[in-house]
């Protein structure tokens, strides 16, 4: 009898070791059922705070709470076996101090069982990232367009389109790498800038609207499936599930209204001897 070895989950060091190697495949998921599908194809599943906008119809990610992240993080861990699961730290849960960041990150790791957390911010987060990493918390960083800073940035706009502005982005990427982040998301960034950062820093870059030369790519699952009403310009829709769901629901509604549902083959008959 052969006994199958349990599947080993990818870890933050496994992803860190992919710098310059096989591209890292990452998508977001907030549910056990989508996590189960993604797990067969993705190296990293991100429980992004985009769940506030995608699942809850919020205008931004700012209202998302730590409890919301933990609830969905647990669901994704239940649905997956192989991918590294990274949970986003929501706005207000880590910026006040490195101690606050550690307490929030510890809750996320303990209560979800995930393998890493993600924080937004470059130089301003470097000290916190080093503090977390020294205490055993693997950190993915996120620079460029950082949606939690939407009010300060003035909108969801591409970053670094003028080479004269590149300095701070380069400093941000270098700072998080030196602080010990195991990878960094580059969001909505001019392509040559993202390509340059990918060349210049020694941790994997994961692009979203950045550059095909990044060490990996991430998208919001619902955006690439055609389920989001508004998507950023850079998103490729791989399918268009919205209209198919609409058609299925319309057919169901027609059947219910015409009493054609459930069909006779779905109705339990009485037992013969009752
Ligand atoms: O919250 C999220 O989904 C993200 C990705 C867009 C990188 O941070």
Report the distance separating Cα 221 and Cα 219, nearest Å.
6
**Is a pLDDT exceeding 80 seen at residue 168?**
yes
State mean pLDDT over 30-57.
Answer: 98
Tokens linked to 112: 């979800």
User: In Å, what is the CA distance from 113 to each residue of 59, 60, 157, 242?
Assistant: 29, 27, 34, 32
Asked if residue 148 has its Cβ within 6 Å of ligand 1, the reply is no
Predicted local confidence at residue 274, as pLDDT: 59
The band of 169, judged by pLDDT with boundaries at 50, 70 and 90, is very high
Give the integer Cα–Cα distance in Å for 25 and 216.
6
| Res 271: pLDDT | 82
Asked whether 120 lines ligand 1 (CB < 6 A), one says: no
Substitution candidate for ligand 1 out of 24, 42, 49, 231 with most atoms within 8 A of CB: 49
Q: Give the model confidence (pLDDT) of 45-90 as tens digits.
A: 999 999 999 999 999 999 999 999 999 999 999 999 999 999 999 9
- Give the list of residues 6+ apart from residue 245 with CB closer than 8 angstroms, or none: 227
Residue 218 has pLDDT above 70, yes or no: yes
| Through-space distance between the first and last CA atoms of the chain, rounded to whole angstroms | 47
Sorting pLDDT into bands at 50, 70 and 90, what band is 269?
confident
Is the Cβ–Cβ distance between 114 and 87 less than 8 Å? Answer: yes
Alpha helices by DSSP H, 113-165: 123-134, 150-153
CB 60 within 8 A of CB 150: yes
Of residues 257 and 265, the one with the higher pLDDT is 257
DSSP three-state, residue 43: coil
DSSP 3-state of 51: helix
- Those residues whose C-beta lies under 8 Å from the C-beta of residue 233, and which sit 6 or more positions away, are 209
Ligand 1 atom nearest to CA at 187:
7
The mean pLDDT of 194-208, rounded to a whole number, is 98
* pTM of the shown model: 0.95
Does the pLDDT of residue 273 top 90, yes or no? no
Q: Let me know if 174 is exposed, middle or buried by CB neighbors in 10 A (0-12, 13-18, 19+).
A: middle
Q: 12 near 116, Cβ under 8 Å?
A: yes
Percentage of the chain surpassing pLDDT 90?
A: 88
Under 8 Å between Cβ of 15 and 183? yes
**What is the reported pLDDT for 1?**
61
- Is the pLDDT assigned to residue 2 strictly greater than 70? no
Instruction: Summarize pLDDT for 225-240 with one digit per residue, the tens.
Output: 999 988 999 999 999 9
The pLDDT assigned to 12 comes to 98
Q: Which of 22, 127, 170, 187 is catalytic?
A: 187
Mean pLDDT for the chain? 95
Backbone angles phi, psi at 40, to 5 degrees: -80, -15
Query: What single-letter DSSP state applies at residue 97?
Result: -
pLDDT tens-digit series, residues 103-121: 999 999 999 999 999 999 9
Q: Please name the residue ranges forming H helices in 1-134.
A: 12-16, 32-38, 51-54, 66-79, 98-112, 123-134
Q: Which whole number is the average pLDDT over 133-155?
A: 95
What is the position in ligand 1's atom list of the atom closest to the CA of 49? 1
Can 187 be counted among the known catalytic residues? yes
Centre of ligand 1 to C-alpha 140, Å, is 11
């Amino acid at each position: 009898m052969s006994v199958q070895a349990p599947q080993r989950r990818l870890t933050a060091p496994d992803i860190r070791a992919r710098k310059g190697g096989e591209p890292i495949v990452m998508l977001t998921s907030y549910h056990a059922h989508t996590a189960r599908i993604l797990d067969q194809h993705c190296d990293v599943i991100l429980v992004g705070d985009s769940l506030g906008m995608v699942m809850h119809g919020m205008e931004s990610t700012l209202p998302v709470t730590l409890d919301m992240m933990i609830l969905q993080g647990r669901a994704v861990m239940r649905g997956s076996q192989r991918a590294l699961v990274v949970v986003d730290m929501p706005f207000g849960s880590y910026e006040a101090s490195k101690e606050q960041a550690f307490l929030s990150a510890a809750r996320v790791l303990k209560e979800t069982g995930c393998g890493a957390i993600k924080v937004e911010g470059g130089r301003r987060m470097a000290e916190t990232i080093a503090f977390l990493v020294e205490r055993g918390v693997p950190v993915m960083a996120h620079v460029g367009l950082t949606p939690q800073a939407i009010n300060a940035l003035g909108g969801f706009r591409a970053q670094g389109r003028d080479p004269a502005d590149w300095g701070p982005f380069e400093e941000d990427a270098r700072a998080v790498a030196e602080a010990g982040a195991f990878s960094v998301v580059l969001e909505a960034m001019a392509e040559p800038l993202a390509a340059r950062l990918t060349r210049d820093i020694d941790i994997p870059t994961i692009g979203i609207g950045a550059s095909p030369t990044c060490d990996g790519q991430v998208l919001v699952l619902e955006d690439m499936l055609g389920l989001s009403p508004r998507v950023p310009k850079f998103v490729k829709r791989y399918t268009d599930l919205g209209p198919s769901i609409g058609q299925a629901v319309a057919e169901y509604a027609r059947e219910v209204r015409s009493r054609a549902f459930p069909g006779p083959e779905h109705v339990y008959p009485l037992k013969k001897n009752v």
